[in-house]
Structure 1
Amino acid sequence: MGLAAQLRAAKASDEVANGRSIRAASKLHQVERTYLRRRIEGIQTQEEYNKSRQKVTDVLEDRLAKWIVTQGQLGYAPPHARFRAYAQRLLIKSGSRERLGKRWVTRFLQRHHEVRTLKGRAIDYRRLNGATEATYEFGMMEGMGENSLVLGEAFKKFILLRDAFKHAWISVIACISADGRALPPLIIFSGVNVQQQWFPDTEDQPYEDWYFTASSNGWTNTDIGLKWLREVFIPHTKPANPREWRLLIIDGHNSYTTEEFMWTCLINRIYIVFLPSHSSHVWQPLDVGVFSVLKRRFRYWFRERCYGRSSEATDKTDFLWALATAWKEVMGVSRYIKQGFKASGMWPVDRDRALKSPYVKKSDGLDTPKSSKDLKILEKALIKVDPAFGKATGRLLFRKVGKALDISNSELTALENHNNQLTSALEKAHPKKLKKVETDPNQEFVRLKNVREVKAGLKSNL
């Protein structure tokens, strides 16, 4: 119903409250009698009922639609997950503790035809900044700059995404057990030596137990494979009974098939089982389920970490932060590891097991009044106390105040989001000194304490 019709209905309701009959008031103000009677009795229309069930108000949804268009024009069109996270943040800022459901984005798009899901094409940020209407060629980026589904303006067929990510090969050697445990990972960087500037200056606790090394191409080799066996696998899996044998199931990579590797396993009471060639996607518990979840979470956190940067400001600290966050979420939860063994048929022996990981969210009610929805509840409570609050003037006042609150909340959320992006970009723009990390003569790999010693030495020289 239009605004003019709503105003006529409000005036007719006031006429009935002053003693005029419903029939006369509806005829005088050209309002349908049934609608007027239902309005006076407090019965909602279907449109009003649907709006009352919306977790996000119309004003906030309009602001969200405009935000999508603006982000797309800047080259930062949000994927569904990021948009829902932004809307959830805005909802929390409005004072609501409700949680947006999995289908909320779909229903939002049904209500707002000015935006829709588009195919995002990643392009280097330099080309996007330098493109004009006369420029018609653009380059595709591989790696983290892969294409994805994002939200954008409805009249476009696809949208360009800024891609400022550097691309370098980094290997991770991981090992898990059937009881749900994961050994500390070994990170293999591309380079001659491990450098201290690859690590953060603060908040490095997640890497305390990790191992680090470097190779010319970022891949493992026979030397690294043997060192991993001696320094990582053997000490971290030592049984309580020294006469007990262990079982190591690995693929047939040439770094694990050397005589020295197999001899080291034999003298340390370790059985080796090599998986058949080209079958890790069937038999390997890591490849079957664990790595797919880990990679998905890593890509998500890496993009969130680098989101909004307008320059080529990503480095290995971003990689480590995203990997550590994803590692804690996946490898720190025994359920994922056990499901990987079940799905592969390794343990317990069963070929037909499938992965199942249900995720349940709790939905809470409203907290303190901070949005137009809270004012609506307050309005209904006041009308029960004094019907005078239900007159057209009172309802109009509540609507105006609620709209002002929603606009303020959306502007505050946008400013905080922009501030976070600028802060992250400034931190990455600060130059770092280069210095090699020396390893302990009694150790094969770089540990975090070695990195801390180098950083402490650099600080003392300032």
Structure 2
Amino acid sequence: MPRLKGKKWEEREKLIEKAMTHYRESGNSASLRISAETFGISWSTLRDRLNGAQNRREAHRAQQLLNEDEEGCIVRWCQRMDDWGFPLRLSLVKELAAYLVSKRKGPGYKLGQHWLSRFLDRNPELSSRFSGRLDRQRAVTNNQELLRDFYKKLKEVTAKYDVLPKDTYNMDEKGFMMGMCAKVKVICRAGRKNPHLTHSGNRTWVTVIEAVSGTGVALPPMIINQGTAHYKGWYAGVEHQDIATFAYSPKGWTDSKLGMDWLVENFDKYTSEVAQDRWRLLILDGHASHTTWEFFDYCLNNKIIPFCLPPHSTHLLQPLDVGLFGPLQKHYSNVLDEAMEQSGGDTGINKGTFLNYLFEARRRTYTSHNILAAWAKTGIMPYNPRRVLQPTPLSASTVLVVSGPTTPKNTRMARSTASQALALIRGGSKSAEKLRTLVKQLDKGLQISLTEKEIGDHVHAQFRKSVAKKASQASTKDRKQLSKARVITTEDVERLKKARDAADSKKAAQALAREVEKRSLGKRVTISENISVHSIDTSLDVEEVEDSEWSKVIVEDTSSRRSCRKRVPSKRVQD
């Protein structure tokens, strides 16, 4: 008889229990065969069970590496991950079980080849299914049920764990090619096709991990540079207010180790004090860098709920993708263009200057208004699924109210004041016509003067900024190594830079002291194997040395210890 599994096995066990009960209650009036045939089981199986035999599952329970309670924990974890939008891969479940076995039994114990299938047999509340792979078009247009299910689970989780808006976060990665700018509109001659702007062309990849809260707060980023260590030149322009976590990888990409470092050294560090032992909700996508057992284990042990977005839906449901990463890229391109203009067309960019441009772009992008607008557009906070399921049309444009006449301070105000003055001049008389002409001429002259002043002010401001920047700019090409640690923070950068500067200063002071000692009186300088200069007379002034044809040098013969005075030309005397 083939081995039964799952529900069929459970149904057979129930029939055996009923047959045993029927036989015991009937006394001697029914035989084993009658009770067995009544419930459709083998009489020998009924006989063995009545004699104390166990079913196959209970009989082999002592041979299992994990007991029933430990497997129950795995079952509940799998169910919880499924409810949060992370249906687990088979390899991840087996990895978790192997981790528990190594903790309980030691490194010498390994799971069997068929452990996973038998684990599913022992726990029929779980089942394995092929996950659906949806392309972007189907996810957007044809799978409204997927989005509804996301909002339903989100509401259930936030209600169950009483998650507050300030404890709700969204994280995602953003990649930069540090020298590449986005396309922008430019002004050129009419009829010209494909105008070009010069940019650095530096394609070095940098990954930035960002996180924002539901109350409009942006957490410090984690910046992953391409390299094998941290170098001083990378952080030449980093200031105290530029709080971040810095890391490196061979290609500038994130991985599971860096994802775990971000969770511990960045997210938990900056949110645990705000949460005050409340549950935190972390909304993220299914990237492999944050779907590991260690990542989930740390989350659950520290009251963090990792809530996964549906596949191919980040452009609809992820606040960072919907309303922040686009403006961030735009502001970064603008900052890069401004830097090129200020430097007179110098398009060079490296890892040191990149951080300055990135922090400035972040300051322009991550305002409270922009972050709250991004959350609202996804329908997550405030909770409003109709923003995604049934988008509302755009509202009418705002009507601008023109205030009363004021002293014009720029061309726009001058034009508005002139228009108001012309509207007040009524009638068709010659005097009225002359007055209108004079107002128009005054308007034209005033606009020209104000425009030239504004252009001059802007050029002068940019020039002053460029001069100040060149005067205060630290070297960003310093290749002195700061640390080999994989992840460091802004505080670590400042501490390591100070330590490196102190070591360099000490080294320079020692070199200077050696040079001074070498040039001082009484320094023995070896000329040959047996002869050395013991003392050089440097007390004469420069003019006296030039006028004197000869200088005195005391030469000591180290082989015979005899001293003699020799007269040599002064031009041969060296310090």
Q: From the superposition, tell whether residues 201 and 327 of structure 1 become closer, same or farther in structure 2 (CA, over 3 Å).
A: closer
Question: 1:243, CA displacement in angstroms?
Answer: 5.3
Q: From the superposition, tell whether residues 439 and 166 of structure 1 become closer, same or farther in structure 2 (CA, over 3 Å).
A: same
TM-score, structure 2 normalization: 0.44
Cα separation, 2, equivalents of 1:456 and 1:401: 64
Cα separation, 2, equivalents of 1:422 and 1:240: 43
Deviations 1:202-222 (A, max 9, x none): 8x2441x22111212111111
1:327 pairs with 2:362: yes
Cα separation, 1, equivalents of 2:351 and 2:178: 17
Question: 1:164, CA displacement in angstroms?
Answer: 3.4
Question: 1:290, CA displacement in angstroms?
Answer: 2.5
Match of 2:497 among 422, 441, 454: 454
CA RMSD of superposed structures (Å): 4.7
Cα separation, 1, equivalents of 2:454 and 2:271: 48
Match of 2:329 among 276, 295, 306: 295
1:269 corresponds in structure 2 to 303
- The amino acid of 1:266's aligned partner reads L
2:169 corresponds in structure 1 to none
Q: From the superposition, tell whether residues 361 and 305 of structure 1 become closer, same or farther in structure 2 (CA, over 3 Å).
A: farther
- The amino acid of 1:272's aligned partner reads P
Choose between structure 1 and 2 for higher RCO, CA contacts under 8 A separated by at least 6 residues: 1
- The amino acid of 2:356's aligned partner reads W
Q: From the superposition, tell whether residues 161 and 361 of structure 1 become closer, same or farther in structure 2 (CA, over 3 Å).
A: farther
Cα separation, 1, equivalents of 2:186 and 2:501: 43
1:341 corresponds in structure 2 to 375
Cα separation, 2, equivalents of 1:369 and 1:253: 53
2:188 corresponds in structure 1 to 152
1:235 corresponds in structure 2 to 269
Identity across aligned pairs (percent)?
A: 29
2:209 corresponds in structure 1 to 173
2:478 corresponds in structure 1 to 434
Cα separation, 2, equivalents of 1:390 and 1:345: 59
Q: From the superposition, tell whether residues 231 and 142 of structure 1 become closer, same or farther in structure 2 (CA, over 3 Å).
A: closer
Q: From the superposition, tell whether residues 262 and 400 of structure 1 become closer, same or farther in structure 2 (CA, over 3 Å).
A: closer
1:189 corresponds in structure 2 to 225
Which secondary structure does the structure 2 equivalent of 1:160 belong to? coil
Deviations 1:238-286 (A, max 9, x none): 2677653322222111111222112211222222222233322222221
1:82 corresponds in structure 2 to none
- The amino acid of 2:208's aligned partner reads V
Question: 1:448, CA displacement in angstroms?
Answer: 4.6
1:214 corresponds in structure 2 to 248
Q: From the superposition, tell whether residues 265 and 437 of structure 1 become closer, same or farther in structure 2 (CA, over 3 Å).
A: farther
Deviations 1:65-123 (A, max 9, x none): xxxxxxxxxxxxxxxxxxxxxxxxxxxxxxxxxxxxxxxxxxxxxxxxxxxxxxxxxxx
Deviations 1:13-70 (A, max 9, x none): xxxxxxxxxxxxxxxxxxxxxxxxxxxxxxxxxxxxxxxxxxxxxxxxxxxxxxxxxx
Cα separation, 2, equivalents of 1:375 and 1:241: 54
Cα separation, 1, equivalents of 2:409 and 2:275: 62
- The amino acid of 2:358's aligned partner reads L
- The amino acid of 1:153's aligned partner reads R
Q: Which segments of 5 or more consecutive residues in structure 2 lack a partner in the other structure?
A: 1-176, 423-430, 509-575
1:310 pairs with 2:345: yes
Which secondary structure does the structure 1 equivalent of 2:212 belong to? coil
Which secondary structure does the structure 1 equivalent of 2:180 belong to? helix
Cα separation, 2, equivalents of 1:423 and 1:261: 49
TM-score, structure 1 normalization: 0.53
1:445 pairs with 2:488: yes
Question: 1:457, CA displacement in angstroms?
Answer: 5.0
Cα separation, 2, equivalents of 1:361 and 1:195: 52
Question: 1:326, CA displacement in angstroms?
Answer: 3.3
State the aligned residue count.
313
Which secondary structure does the structure 2 equivalent of 1:312 belong to? coil
Cα separation, 2, equivalents of 1:340 and 1:194: 34
- The amino acid of 1:152's aligned partner reads C
Cα separation, 1, equivalents of 2:437 and 2:293: 84
- The amino acid of 1:156's aligned partner reads R
Cα separation, 1, equivalents of 2:494 and 2:399: 40
Which secondary structure does the structure 2 equivalent of 1:170 belong to? strand
